[in-house]
Structures are given as C-alpha cells and as structure tokens.
Chain A
Amino acid sequence: MRVILALALSVLALGWGVPAAYAQEAYKIGAIFSITGPGSSLGIPERDTALMIEAEVNAKGGVKGPDGKLHPLKLVIYDDASDETKAVLAAKKLIDEDKVTAIVGTTLSGTSLAILDTVQKAEVPLVSCAAAAKIVEPVAERKWVFKTPQSDFLITGVLADYLKAKGLTKVAWLNVDYAFGQQGWIEFEKAAQKAGLTIVANEKFGQKDVDMTAQLTKVKAANPQATIIWSIPPSASIATKNYADLGIKAPMFQSHGVGNKKYIELAGPASNGVLFPAGKLLVAEQLTDNDPQRAVLLAYAKDFEAKYGPRNTFGGHAWDALYVVLGAMEKAGTDRAKVRAAIETTRGFVGITGVFDFSPADHNGLDRRAATMIQIVDGQWRMAK
C-alpha cells in the first residue's frame, strides 16, 4: 500500500496524473480537542461536529482535490485533557507520526498558545477553535496559525457598546484565572475605556473553585450598574448561583463561554435574564430571512441536534475550522504551504461563527457582525433588545 502511495505521489508530482484504478490517497487532517478536563463542555461538541463532518464528507465519496479526484477524508483526533503539555505532545504526534496536512483545534486558548511554537516550526497550518486574539496576533509571527472563534476584542467590543447604549456605565468585572478569562479582561479593559465605562471592581476566581461569594461580596459592595463574569461552566454557573443568592440586583453579563445548555442547566433559575455576546447560532431561528448565515446555521443546528443534542457555539467553531481546511485542500491538495496560502486567501466563507474573510493581515477573518447580544429567558436563548 505504502509503495503504491509513494508511486502515486511521485506520479502526481511529475504531473502525469494518477491511473484511476488506484484508490485515492486519503486526506489526513489532525484535530486536538479538550474532550476531558475542565474544557470538556466545549471540546466534546467540537469532536462530535468533526466526526459528523467526516461521516458526511465520506458519505459523498470524499474531498474533491485539485486533481479532480475524490479523496477519502481521514480525521485523526486526540484529546489534550485541557492540558497544555498534552496538547503539545498531541501536536507533535500529529505532525511526526500521523503526518497530517493541517491541524484543527485546540479547544482552549491556553492549549492553542502552547502549541503555536510547534506548528510554526514544523510549518503545519493550524486552525484553532479557541478565542484569544493572541493566538493569531501579531500576524507576522503567526504565519501558519488561523482561528475561527470571534476574537476577544470583537466580542468585548460588542459587549462594551451594548452596555454603553443601555446606560450601564458603572460596571464590575470577574474572570476565571486562566487564559480565556485573563485575555477577556485585557480586551474588555481596552473596550471599556473606548466606550467610556468605569470599572468599579475587578475580581478573579479559579475554574475549580467551589464558591465565589467572597469575590461577589466585593462586587456587591462596589454597587455596580452591571456585572460581567468571564468564564465557562461549571465555575460560570457557580458564580451565577452565588450572585443570585447574594441578592445582587444589577443585571449580569457573561461571556460567549456560556453558550451551551449546560450552563443554564447547572445554574437553574439563577440564569434567568443573563445577557451575553455570542455568535448567531444560538438564535438561528430568530434571524431574518436575509441574514447570509441563516440557512447554514439552521442546517448545522438540525444535523447536530438530530445526532448529539442541543447545539452550541463551540461545535460551530470546529465546523468552521474543519470546512476552512477542507476548502483549502480542495484547492491545494496535501501540500502544507499551499494549503496555508489557500486558507489565507479564503474570502466570503459563510460559516457558523460568521462570514470569514481571511487575509495576510487578518487570520481570524471576522468582523462585528459575527456577534450579537443574547439573553437567557426562562432557560431559552432570545436575541436581546
């Protein structure tokens, strides 16, 4: 088999075309998700989405490469257990042993930042499913790295403008003390300054903390007009419950990290009224007919929910990442440098998170239309007014 593949490859390289009788070389894409550990509520839907796409593509015969032939898609998925070291090991394994063309993932900002060096040195395209802007910036030092979730500054910008528009200018802030929360704080501080908001409290908590009452007591004492909590479940849910228990009346805002039903399920009635900026997937049915994403969003939501349960934005990030890579491979085959170039020139790609326009200066490719304010009303997502 290996001899045939090698032959086929060398024939391809010489531009003679492959005799149709040979099975087509599989297109191998690596994936690293946090299937276990604190990031699992994000990583599991990402993995499920990736598997769903693999089955879909292969049911259609595979990926149509630049040679005009259909190639079976082979995903190699590893779990990094939400751990930076394991993420680096997984990336090395994908590159050295599995010899994948490109990598999608990781799930969390910390793990994505951890594997930057590895993929940059090995010159393998990486399309991350994690939020932090630092993953793709400065873009000159991130030649091989792209990402699909909205950057923190985009999300925090939408949030800060919303707060200002509602006249909620005296705000308190809490974040979980790892990369996602810390980056959120850095970007929100800038966005708040631009929007003219005053931050009256700034608190941290750990993802495995059992109680955030002490931090929220300080928030309560600062008497803000609104409180922003930047985290993911379960700590985001615990903070939400603590907030309600302390009887703080100021409206609560959360991050796009709570864009899954698990958050609502864990926080219970305390989540009622919580607002957060996120992609449009959660409110796809409420979009107008002329929204460019509506059809894509509804189709993905239907497929995912038929197979795995309630939709969430994280699976959407993986959908975007994988289809961006697949689109590039349709144009460029398995040559890593060409795939990278093809990703960078992807324009007008209608994804789940937004409409992507990648460029050499922008490896995220999204603008503010990719986020909207969503409110939880009686356990359901509603477009906020």
Chain B
Amino acid sequence: MTVTDQLAQYLASGLVVGGVYALIGLGFVIVYSVTRIINFAQGEFVMLGALLMVTFEARGLPAAAAFACTVAAVAALGALLERAAIHPIRGAPPLAALIVTIGASIALRGGALVLWGTDPVALPPFSPGPPHHVLGATVVRQGFWVLAVAAVVFAALWFFFTRTYPGTAVRACAVNARAARLMGIRVDRMFLLAFALSGALGAVAGAVIAPITYATYDMGLMLGLKGFVAAVLGGLVSPPGAIAGGFLLGLLESFSAGLISSAYKDAVAFIVLIVLLLVQVAGWLPWRVAEET
C-alpha cells in the first residue's frame, strides 16, 4: 500500500464520517439559530433514527419506506419535544432550555434502553455488495449512501431556506425574532418547525450510519458531541459552516489517526474545539457563541 493510497483512504474515511457529523451539526445550527437553544437531545435523535430504522426494517418495511417512516417519526418527536418541554418555558433564559434538552436526552436514552435493550443491533446496508475502490481507497457502499443522502439533504435545505416562504421566515427569525414577529411571522411556529427539522436531520444521520456502526441505545451521546463540535467549528449559526465543520472534523479525526497517532484521535477533535472557543473569546472571530440572549 503506497503512501498516496493511504492518504486517499484517510480522505475517504474522513469524508464519510464527516458527512454524518455535518448532518448532526446542521440539526444543532437550525435549532440554535432560531431559538438560541443548544439542543443536547440532538444526538438522541440520531440514536432514535438508527434504532427505528432497524425496527421498521425488521417489521418487513422496504428500506425506502422504513427510512421515510423513521424520519417522519423522529421529526414528530422533535416537534413534540418542543411543544411539551420548550414551549411551556418560553421566555426563560436559554440556560433553562438547555438544561431541559439535557434532561430530554437522558429521558430519550432511558426510553430507548427500555424499548430496545442494551445489545447493539445490525442493519443491512442499503445496497449490499463488496466495497468500491476509488483512487486507491476502499469505500464501503454504505459510505456512498452517506455522502449521497447528505448531499441531497444539503441541497433540499438550501432550497428550503432560500427559495420558499417558510424557509425565509425561519431565517428571519434567526436574524431577528422581534422584527420577524412585527412582520407577522408566528415565531413560536418557527420554533416548532426548527425542532421538527432537527429531528428529521438527526433521523437521517442515524438511519444512514446504522449499517456501518450498528445501532445502540447509547450511541447518541458521542455522535451528538461530535455534531456539536462540527456546529461550533462552523460558527453555530451558519448551515454551510456546520457542513464545512462536519467534514473538517471527520477529516481531522481520520488524518490525525492515520498520520499522528490513533491514541489521540478524539483528543485532536476536542482540542480543536477548545482552541476555537479560546480564539473566539479573544475576539478574533466575527461570530459569538456563549452570550447570545
């Protein structure tokens, strides 16, 4: 195996994993930019996406139908979370809502533990077959599905946010909620929409990654953290930023594991996060994270 083959392999692995981080990071960004809440239940949406996909397929639904049902179910759950837990405390400081989302994530994880048990479950890949070889790198077929689904989601989101009325309304709320309300936009509906969207995004991420990583009730925590890092890397309010952040994080992990040492793979990701936060506190970046109201 030549050095260029190795580099190609790190690139391919990093892109596939990065695609998943980007999807999760986008969920964080959409909720945060509209509601100023960091939704720590985002990772649990991913877990639910993976486990529901497995369950629907096991019940005999074809993959496409199972996928649609999964995304719809988790989107509904996201909306329900907003109505049941976030809406009643509207007006409270964002910290209160953040703590509510942590509580929701623990509850969802506990619920999944009861429903699905602790054993990891496998999901067959969307299209079975041996892996493909691209420029010296080996990429499993599901890896292409991850990237393709991510690309479709990114395009759909772009269209939604820039070319449709509700999408523009969501963006208006993100820019200035008070002004948006004065313009006649129902801000609380946008909250609901943001949570439903982030639920759908999490479900997509979970469903496409399940054939690669298996599905377990406790997979959400780590994936949620990685998605959060991706979102912060991209500025926390910018969807393209989150996508870039996700891929950057995936590549960082893969190349640092390959070129530096796999012992420090996770450390690299979190050190990057800390450095970025420090740089931002020092005021060298145009965006702020911590003290939005």
Q: Tell me the residues in window 234-293 of chain B with beta carbons closer than 8 Å to chain A beta carbons.
A: 253-255, 257-258, 261-263, 265-266
Which of the segments B55-63, B115-123, B175-183 contacts the partner chain? Answer: B115-123
Contact A177–B263 (Cβ < 8 Å):
yes
Contact of B119 with A217 in the complex, beta carbons under 8 Å = no
Whether, in the assembled complex, A213 has its beta carbon less than 8 Å from a beta carbon of chain B, the answer is yes
Residues of A within 8 Å of B221, CB to CB, are 208
A206/B1 in contact, CB under 8 A: no
Q: How many interface residues does chain B have, given as a range?
A: 35 or more
Residue A191, interface by CB 8 Å? no
Q: Is the CB of A35 within 8 A of B6?
A: no
Which residues on the B side are within 8 Å of A203 (C-beta)? Answer: 257, 262
Would B140 and A245 count as touching, CB distance under 8 A?
A: yes
* Contact surface of B with A, Cβ cutoff 8 Å: 1, 5-6, 9-10, 12-14, 16-17, 20, 113, 118-120, 122, 130-131, 138, 140, 209, 212-214, 216, 218-219, 221-223, 253-255, 257-258, 261-263, 265-266
Given contacts A217-B258, A245-B131, contact A206 B265 (CB under 8 A): yes
Tell whether A109 is near chain B: CB-to-CB under 8 Å.
Answer: no
On chain B, the residues within 8 Å of A128 by CB distance are none
> Given A205-B262, A262-B119, A217–B214 Cβ distance below 8 Å?
no
In the complex formed, the residue of A with least CB distance to B21 is: A210
Bound Cα distance from A217 to B136, whole angstroms: 11
Cα distance A35–B14 in the bound complex, in angstroms: 33
- Assess the A214–B262 pair: CB atoms within 8 A: yes
The one of A221, A223, A268 in contact with B122, judged by C-beta atoms closer than 8 angstroms, is A268
CB-based contact A211/B16 at 8 Å = yes
Q: Is the CB of B214 within 8 A of A221?
A: no
- Whether the pair B119, A211 counts as a contact (CB closer than 8 A) is no
User: A205, A214, A220, A233 — which one has the most chain B CB atoms within 10 A of its CB?
Assistant: A214
Residue of A nearest to B225 (CB): A208
**Given A203-B262, A210-B212, A217-B10 in contact, is the A246-B138 Cβ separation under 8 Å?**
yes
CB distance from B15 to the nearest CB of A (A): 11
Is B119 within 8 A of A40, CB to CB?
Answer: yes
Interface of B is mostly: helix
The CB with the most chain B CB atoms within 10 A, among A205, A206, A233, A245, is that of A245
Q: Which residues of B contact A217 (CB under 8 A)?
A: 1, 6, 9-10, 13, 258
Q: Is A215 an interface residue (CB 8 A)?
A: yes
Q: What residues on B are CB-neighbors of A211 within 8 Å?
A: 13, 16-17, 212-213
Q: With an 8 A cutoff between CB atoms, is A44 at the interface?
A: yes
Minimal beta-carbon separation of A290 from chain B (angstroms): 37
Q: What's the nearest-Cβ distance from chain B to residue A333, in Å? A: 36
Q: A41 in the interface, Cβ–Cβ < 8 Å?
A: yes
Would you call A214 and B254 a contact (CB within 8 A)? yes
| Closest A-B pairs by Cβ, 7 of them | A40-B118, A214-B257, A234-B120, A210-B213, A213-B13, A217-B9, A208-B222
* B10 contacts across to A, CB distance below 8 A: 214, 217
Minimal beta-carbon separation of B211 from chain A (angstroms): 10
- In chain A, positions 32-74 with a C-beta closer than 8 Å to chain B are 35-38, 40-41, 44
Contact present for A215 and B213 (CB under 8 Å): no
Residues of B within 8 A of A305 (CB): none
A37-B118, A41-B118 known; A214-B13 Cβ under 8 A: yes
Q: Is there an interface contact between A204 and B122, defined as CB atoms closer than 8 Å?
A: no
Q: Could you say which residues of chain B place their CB within 8 Å of the CB of A77?
A: none
CB contact between B258 and one of A214, A237, A245 (< 8 Å): that residue: A214
A206 (CB) vs chain B CBs: closest residue? B266
Closest beta carbon of chain A to B112's beta carbon, Å? 11
Q: Are B120 and A208 in contact (CB under 8 A)?
A: no
Is A195 an interface position by the 8 A CB rule?
no
Q: Is A347 at the interface (CB under 8 A from chain B)?
A: no
A218 within 8 A of B: yes
- Of B130, B138, B214, B253, the contact of A234 (CB 8 Å cutoff): B214
A221: chain B residues within 8 A (beta carbon): 1, 5-6
Determine the distance from Cα of A206 to Cα of B222 in the docked complex, in whole angstroms: 11
